Amino acid sequence: MLASVARRLLSMLVTLLGVSVIIFLVLRLLPGNAVTAQMGVSAGLLSHAQRVALDHYYGVGEPFFRQYVSWLGSMLTGNLGVSLSSRTSVASLVGAALPVTLELAIASMVIGELIGVLFGVFGSLRPRGVVDNAGQGVAVVGLGVPSFVIGTGLVTFLASSFHYFPSSRAFAGLFFNPWLNLQQIFFPALTLGLGVGAAIMRTTRAAMLEVVSTGFARTARGKGLSKFVVTWKHLFLGALVPVVTMSGIQLGYLLGGTVVVEQIFVLPGLGRLLVNSISNRDFPVVQSVTLVFAAGFIVVNMLTDMLYTLIDPRTRAR
């Protein structure tokens, strides 16, 4: 077990290193840099000496390799640099935005699990029934309609019909004002949760239908066990591995997929910070936020793999 964890940690570090290289190169290959982002059209009026001085000040005049080594060395010591646009610590910006994105991702995951598992389980027990058809309808909406369309429609409906503007006030922390925080998080989480729930519902339904026809399911019913015990203790547990796999994938997606929804609902999370930083060519912030997203996805997948050993004892021998 320890050797497996060590291998996964090493693989995670190598992956993050590769991601950091790709992010760094892609940002440097984009048109413009920190100087043009800060100066705008005035950058064309700079003299050669002024341009060289500004390139040195912003650290964009050195070769790419030297820039990357300098950034990587600072990052390994916990120094994420300083934002070029706000002149504040990148670590403080990420630290302020990360809890918002985590809360949104967790709330979306809870809603998605409730939608996906309940519709998937009960729909598989009576295929083509009312619950199954309703679940299929939810799946069509969740998978077929983009989250930005659902989010925009939801904001428009709430504003026009109920004059409901939860984001018209500054974002409230969960422990500062729980009720306002719930109002501000629920609808963005519902927007993302529909897509998550649709994917989990399809996976749960397919896995349950496969398990329902097996011999141990008939044996459990033959023992006279209650329907609740048969469904949740035998059938659902037998179908849990693919459900956990899909849940892990969806959670990893949510950690980096909140960008558009955070913009629509004006949530001060990592996604909104990333969009604003890209517009300002704020390389230190973009690099750090993208690495946080990548690290989150990798960690979630690693934890999902480790969870298999608790769910299915057969995986412990691998």
Within a domain: 200: yes
Whether residue 308 sits in one domain with residue 209: yes
Whether residue 164 sits in one domain with residue 244: yes
Tokens 């179908």, residue?
A: 239
Whether residue 108 sits in one domain with residue 26: no
Instruction: Indicate the number of domains in the chain.
Output: 2
**Closest listed residue to residue 280, CA positions, set 22, 40, 21:** 40
**Closest listed residue to residue 317, CA positions, set 10, 6, 2, 1:** 1
What phi, psi does 26 have (nearest 5°)? -60, -45
DSSP 82: B
Within a domain: 120: yes
Within a domain: 82: no
pLDDT at position 184, please? 86
Find the CATH number of the domain harbouring 295: 1.10.3720.10
Whether residue 98 sits in one domain with residue 180: yes
Whether residue 192 sits in one domain with residue 46: no
Last residue of a domain, one of 41, 76, 111: 76
Whole-number Å distance between alpha carbons of 137 and 306: 33
Whether residue 175 sits in one domain with residue 46: no
pLDDT at position 110, please? 94
Whether residue 253 sits in one domain with residue 299: yes
Within a domain: 96: yes
Low-confidence ranges of the chain (pLDDT < 70): 1, 30-46, 48, 51, 55-61, 166-167, 215-217, 220, 312-318
**Closest listed residue to residue 13, CA positions, set 72, 95, 97:** 72
Whether residue 241 sits in one domain with residue 304: yes
Last residue of a domain, one of 76, 106, 135: 76
Within a domain: 85: no
pLDDT at position 314, please? 61
Within a domain: 81: no
Whether residue 238 sits in one domain with residue 136: yes
- List the domain range (segments joined by +) for residue 156: 90-317
pLDDT in tens, 238-256: 788 888 888 888 888 887 7
DSSP 83-104: -TTT-SBHHHHHHHHHHHHHHH
Measure CA 242 to chain center: 19
Whether residue 142 sits in one domain with residue 280: yes
Last residue of a domain, one of 76, 109, 129: 76
Whether residue 189 sits in one domain with residue 155: yes
Within a domain: 19: yes
pLDDT at position 106, please? 92
Within a domain: 53: yes
DSSP 46-80: --HHHHHHHHHHHT-SS-HHHHHHHHHHHHHTT--
Read off the pTM.
Answer: 0.83
Whether residue 232 sits in one domain with residue 120: yes
